[in-house]
Chain A
């Protein structure tokens, strides 16, 4: 049940309790309870929206920044990651298992300069950050399982 709820919400988190209940063969109240339990347990951390920035904000700039950092005594990479994640510009922070860098940081800015300055003035100046490498994102095709580019037309016939 848990897995099915999550699978459905991942496709569309705005689905109503009634609809979710119908899909799972439970009452709307039970569906709401199940979701609340998942939220309370911290399994579901939040809900967001997936945008096509080509349509919403054409000038927005996204970048993935690879950070090499010195792990700190007792807390490894957590401290630095927690500093980085407090910035509003930062969309995601992940610890990587890679030979060449440690943290992957996704940043959104309103223009190229914004992002470049954010990296040079905010990220690279953090104690323990050894180096940064910035990759600008030109186009997103799919995000969180949702197609951003137009889907292929359905060629199936009626038979």
Chain B
């Protein structure tokens, strides 16, 4: 007799209930088509600076590739600690308050799993990267979206936040500079948020993975604000700033009572971050500032180009001050963001990500990445221009027929 296994029964209910990423869907369609030009990626188009790669080659040639200490290589933790202090004037003990993680992603996962019990509420500022709510749901927690609005330049305001706080609120996820909007928070923007949180027991998970990529002004972290270091889990990494996505390296800094607990999850689940990458990353922190500045200059040229092109084409585009995305509003087309992206892909072969993939408040927008060469972006804008002309012509036809 044939033995039949019921996978529905075998799999975890929580896992089955979480949705797959909305970004992925468009990527999969685009992959099956010829001649598609993508604006979808969330990783730099630059190569990792050569000194970093050279450091990795040296490790491969001269060292045993070992696990290494759970929390990360000692020189790397020291360099990370120095870097945070240099940037924000806040010191973290490299032994007790830092873990080197497998990308910022693992750091986020550690923080959420370390804090959330079933029924706990997590405030997720939206639109934002797709991983927060699913990770919260996996712990049995409840993700509570906190929408930001274009009227506020997609910044989080204390008013947005205040109503969402309940007795069960444990964590606020603060993702700035923001993917997908490119919004940043200044010290003045952060102060009212900090003020609201100071009397509570709510912890902030500050995902600052894009912190090096700001245009015009320096990124401010909430840890710089009075009384906020002790209630913040600071997450950053090497992927975006140093074009090191594939190296899988990030870090989490937090007060010792938090680190000592989440270190257990890291130890049992991951053991330690990749040894080769960790060795190379020391080089990133100590000798790549000029390379990063060069990349930022190039991103900035692309950013300015896209913002004014979208505005010129009639899609209102908020002026982002960070990350490498622009987030034009497509409401004037009368299409939903998903319809817009689907038609743009099928009809003019440009792949972009619908804003709705980043939370309900992203509806009416599309995310356009500028981690592409100017040549690539100019061709994409030409196609988007043609697409918009076509939509406009359709509208006029409709009007004519009735």
* A interface residues with partner B (beta carbon < 8 Å): 4, 8, 11-12, 15, 19, 22-25, 154, 156-159
Contacts and interface: CB of A to CB of B under 8 A. Distances in A.
Contact of B351 (A11, A15, A158): A158
Contacts of B27: 157-159
Given A11-B375, A12-B375, A157-B27, A25 B41 contact: no
26 contacts: A4-B297, A4-B301, A8-B301, A8-B374, A11-B373, A11-B374, A12-B378, A15-B378, A19-B305, A19-B309, A22-B307, A22-B308, A22-B309, A22-B312, A23-B301, A23-B304, A24-B304, A25-B304, A156-B41, A156-B45, A157-B41, A158-B23, A158-B24, A158-B40, A158-B41, A159-B43
Given A4-B297, A24-B304, A154 B38 contact: yes
Interface size class of B (residues with CB under 8 A): 20 to 34
Contacts of B373: 11
A49 to B, nearest CB: 15
Nearest to B298: A7
B233 to A, nearest CB: 22
Contacts of A157: 27, 41
Contacts, number: 54
Nearest to B28: A158
B305 A158 contact: no
A133 B38 CA distance: 47
A12 B304 CA distance: 17
A23 B42 contact: no
Interface of B: 21, 23-24, 26-27, 30, 38, 40-43, 45, 297, 301-302, 304-305, 307-309, 312, 351, 353, 371, 373-375, 378
Contacts of B308: 22
Given A154-B38, A158-B42, A24 B301 contact: yes
B24 A159 contact: yes
Given A158-B351, A158-B353, 4 more contacts: A8-B301, A8-B374, A156-B41, A159-B24
A12 B24 contact: no
B298 to A, nearest CB: 8
Chain B CB within 10 Å, residue with most, of A11, A19, A22, A156: A156
Contacts of A15: 378
Nearest to B39: A158
Nearest to B374: A11
Nearest to A156: B41
Contacts of B309: 19, 22
Contacts of B301: 4, 8, 23-24
B73 to A, nearest CB: 27
A2 to B, nearest CB: 13
Contacts of A23: 301-302, 304-305, 374
A8 B304 CA distance: 13
B38 A158 contact: yes
Given A4-B301, A24-B304, A159 B42 contact: yes
A155 to B, nearest CB: 10
B379 to A, nearest CB: 11
Q: Which of A4, A8, A22, A159 has the most CB of B within 10 A?
A: A159
A11 B372 CA distance: 13
B242 to A, nearest CB: 16
A126 to B, nearest CB: 41
Q: Indicate the member of B297, B302, B305 with the most A CB atoms within 10 Å.
A: B305
A156 B23 CA distance: 13
Contacts of A19: 305, 309, 378
Nearest to B129: A159
